[in-house]
Structures are given as C-alpha cells and as structure tokens.
Amino acid sequence: MTVIEDRITMAEESDELSLDVMFEWLEKMPVPEGTKVEIVGGNIFMSPQRQHHWEIISAIFEQLRDKYPRKRLASDVRIDFPGHLNGFACDMAAMADRSVKDSKGRWRYQDVEFVAEVISKDTAANDYGPKKLAYATAEVPVYLIADPYKGRCYLYTHPKEGDYVTRTKVDFGDDIDLTGTVVGLALKTDEFPRD
C-alpha cells in the first residue's frame, strides 16, 4: 500500500475524508503535465488529454465566447458537485451571469448553466453515468457529451429529479441547437475531429 492509499484508508476510517483532503494529497503527487485529474464518487481518475480531445474543447470554448465572457468559462477547473466526493474538472463549464465564487475561490455548482464533456475511452463510463447523474442532480440546465469515437454529440436538457428529461443526438457536422436553452446559441460541430 502506498503512503497516499494508507492516508486515504485512515481518513475513511475516521470519517475525515473530504474532497479538500484528497485534492491536497493529489497536489503533492508527481502528476504528469497535461493530465486531467478529478474525483468521481470518491474515486480518483487521471487521464492525459489527447489532441482530438483538446480540439473539440477549444471549438466549444471559442463558440461559447459569443455569449460568455472569458471570466465565466472554465476548463479542467475543480467544481464540487452533489453526491459522494464529486470534485469534477469539467472539460468546459459556463457560469451564469449572477455567479460568485465560494470562500475558497471556487465556482459553485449552483451557478453552472452549461457543461460539456469530451469522451475519453478510459473515463467514458463516468461521463455517461455518475457525472451525468451529478449534473442532473445539480440541475445544470444543459449537459453536452461530445463523443469523437462515435462522431456524435448527446445533448441533455431539462433536469428533473436527478435525471435529464430530454436527450438529443446530433452527428458531428450538424449544428447543436441551444437557442431554446439558457445558452441561447447554436454550436457548430463541423470541425469536431473523430478519433
């Protein structure tokens, strides 16, 4: 057992395990540059970002700038969501105009009005499963999954009772119509690369 595993076990046994403690330990680890680190349901996930992944995130960011100022957009920044030890680093998140950071300088999940996740093979189950559940529970109005392996996006809207009422499939190359949502614009996917 590593020192970190030993400390996590000790913290779990004493009911002291928290996202802050877990992230503090992670900050002391030699995590390679360009590796996304997040905690989903108390489990730590680390995945290197691929070029295709970044190109999709960048394309979404550039288009969101038509509505959101840079200071209300976040990528790979920790946001704590409802559920057991959920400290996500969303690929892209957009905050409402009324947004304020908490006392620790972090965005509050209550202010997130759009999240996009780009699928990676190793963590796809998180994006389609526990993260989708956490976003719906947090009542994030718009959740977008971009899947470069399928060449398709899945748009989830209208969160209700811990799930999304509406799911729309959009193939890469077609526009994602968000004009009827809080986002209020259409995202072009014609430059989203496939993997």
Q: What is the pLDDT of residue 133?
A: 97
3-7, 107-111, 153-157, range with the lowest pLDDT: 3-7
Q: Read off the tokens for 74.
A: 């976040």
**Spatial separation of the C-alpha atoms in residues 108 and 6, rounded to whole Å:** 30
Contact 145, 153 (CB under 8 A): yes
pLDDT at 8 over 70: no
pLDDT at 15 over 50: no
CA-based nearest residue to 110, from 124, 125, 100: 100
pLDDT digits (tens, 9 = 90+) for 108-124: 999 999 999 999 888 89
- Of residues 26 and 183, which shows the higher confidence score? 183
Q: How far apart are the first and last CA of the chain?
A: 36
Q: What is the pLDDT of residue 16?
A: 58
pLDDT at 12 over 70: no
What's the pTM? 0.85
Q: What is the pLDDT of residue 45?
A: 83
**Spatial separation of the C-alpha atoms in residues 99 and 104, rounded to whole Å:** 14
How much is the mean pLDDT over the chain?
Answer: 89
